[in-house]
A and B are shown apart, each in its own frame.
Chain A
């Protein structure tokens, strides 16, 4: 049951990891606004469900809210020429206040309210006790397929080129700024959707639930890449989701058995950050070991 629960969470957060993969890897844009769009999705879906909206529809509206937030970051970074990291931070900070306004208080309880995962599980007739697992898997699979299809269109191809060579895209007649905005919108749409599902799954939306989202997303993308070493786009997209599942499993194990090693749940983010740090620093460390100077 520990594994099944971890994989469920991994799939739900895997949607967020897909979004981070899009911004961080495809666009080569370190987008910190996800720390704000994840709780934004939770807040929007939460308040809509409390007002009686269908939970799946509420999650889609939450994705739309994420889309708008991503567009904002993109516009800040391109039209207003604010450095990418700062653009993300600005959106994130704005969203903190906005999320409080949307919810009207720091957290919402969704316990006993309808949730998208069981709703979908009932619709497809998933067997007990794997309803959440099957439903989260379907959401994640559909999202991953849509992302893959999109990246293989004319527009998506240009989007991939932007992260590698924006000058080329300009030479080929498309404004790379517009593509960046589009990419960030889609990325944050996925993150918003993920936040909405996470809130429904855990039974609450909290204004602080976004802290560290970007680090968890990066950890998922990097762990997936390390384990699967994807050569093609297809595997790269699934590696992000796979990495998310491994990451959640590692956390579950750490939470259950960490106490005997002296870890507490409060050490979680430190450990995650160290994992990401290690993976990002690996090329430089390897070069240093070989005696090359950077």
Chain B
């Protein structure tokens, strides 16, 4: 097993209340698995990714990566084993540094010394990587990342995440902030790179059609549990309507919006989520 999440529980304080983001959750990923994750807002998807990446320490339970117990490792120590792409394209790159410099930073994880960041040889290697994106970025290696479009920036981030061939790739709704055309493009690049390097991948998405079309396994989360775990065969037989049906049966309602976001969780801050919840409360 590349990834073992064993009986992990994580709760957040929300005012006086305690909110459970993950409840005794178990998840095992075999080498080469490409798992898509769906679930309502606050189901615990982002918290799960944060617990795996180490930006969030679970209250109970263990996390093992490639056989090693990493539960107590800080995020930066786990980083050589993990590639990660966030929803916000701004989050995955250093805007005022060049494309080549960003790639070079990503090309060497962990220990950094006084060797030059970019050598001519290194630049050639990085240019090849950039060319594989098919976006012409290899011609723009010396441009600042701030000048790239959101789609180009996110494609670059995906490349940066896989450059060191990590044991595990974490994608947190990484196409959600892009326009449809760019989202398609970035997803295609992701699938290509994952296939090329045979990476084990965990991809959170809010689009059910995407969750069904991509990868070889699908899990649905609700209130900190995995309520559905589909293999490749079942996935192929099911349609979006079936998934919606599963959602209904799981009793997903909008009060789940309240969950999530702390220092650890969520696309959408605590304040945003609380605001959304308040709006809903008015409507009800």
CB distance from B17 to the nearest CB of A (A): 26
Structural contact, A167 and B91, CB atoms closer than 8 A:
yes
Whether A152 contacts B118 in the complex (CB less than 8 A), given A170-B75, A172-B105, A175-B76, comes out as: yes
- A134 on interface, CB distance cutoff 8 Å: no
- Give Cα A153 to B53, complex, Å: 27
**Residue numbers in A under 8 Å from B108 (CB-CB):** 154
9-residue interface stretch from B6-14, B92-100, B189-197, B276-284: B92-100
Which stretch from A117-125, A137-145, A158-166, A285-293 is at the chain B interface? A158-166
Cβ contact within 8 Å between B92 and A157: no
Q: Are B110 and A160 in contact, with the CB atoms below 8 A?
A: no
User: Is A168 part of the contact surface with B, judged by Cβ < 8 Å?
Assistant: yes
The verdict on A171 contacting chain B, using a C-beta distance below 8 Å, is yes
Query: Which of chain A's residues have a CB closer than 8 A to the CB of B248?
Result: none
Do the beta carbons of A161 and B105 come within 8 Å of each other?
A: yes
User: Pick the contact of B117 from A154, A170, A173 — CB < 8 Å?
Assistant: A154
**Chain B hits for A171, CB < 8 A:** 53, 75, 79, 84, 92
Inter-chain contacts of B95 with A (CB < 8 A): 164-165
Instruction: Kindly list chain B residues whose C-beta atoms are within 8 Å of the C-beta of A272.
Output: none
A203 at interface, CB cutoff 8 A:
no
Q: List CB contacts (< 8 Å) of B64-110 with chain A.
A: 74-77, 79-80, 84, 90-97, 101, 104-106, 108-110
**Bound form: Cα–Cα A167–B50 in Å:** 12
Give the residues in chain B near A150, CB-CB below 8 Å: 114
Whether A212 is near chain B, meaning CB under 8 Å from some CB there, is no
- Considering only CB atoms and an 8 Å cut-off, how many residues of chain B contact the other chain? 32
Number of interface residues of A (CB under 8 A): 22
Report if B113 contacts A (CB, 8 A): yes
Q: How far is the CB of A234 from chain B (nearest CB, A)?
A: 13
Query: Does the CB pair A160–B94 fall under 8 Å?
Result: yes
**A172 touching B79, Cβ below 8 Å:** yes
Question: CB of B116 within 8 A of chain A?
Answer: yes
- In chain A between 147 and 197, which residues have their CB closer than 8 angstroms to a CB of chain B? 150, 152-158, 160-161, 164-165, 167-176
Task: Give the CA-CA distance A176 to B75 in the complex, in Å.
Answer: 11
Contact of A168 among B55, B91, B104, B112 (CB under 8 A): B91
Contacts of B114 in A (CB 8 A): 150, 153-155
Assembled-state Cα–Cα distance A155/B114 (Å): 6
CA distance A170 to B97 in the complex (A): 17
Contact indicator A165/B93 (Cβ below 8 Å): yes
Q: Complex: how many Å from CA A174 to CA B111?
A: 7
B161 closest partner in A (C-beta):
A171
- Give the chain B neighbours of A155 by CB distance below 8 A: 112-114
In angstroms, Cα B116 to Cα A155, docked, is: 9
Collect the chain B residues with CB atoms within 8 Å of residue A174's CB.
76, 79, 109-110, 112
**Distance (Å) between the CB of B92 and the closest chain A CB?**
6
Residues of A within 8 A of B (CB): 150, 152-158, 160-161, 164-165, 167-176
Q: Which 8 pairs show the lowest CB-CB distances between chains A and B?
A: A173-B79, A173-B109, A157-B117, A154-B112, A161-B94, A173-B110, A164-B94, A155-B112
Give me 9 other A-B pairs in contact (C-beta within 8 A), A153-B113, A173-B80 excluded: A154-B105, A155-B112, A157-B97, A161-B94, A161-B97, A164-B97, A168-B93, A171-B92, A172-B79
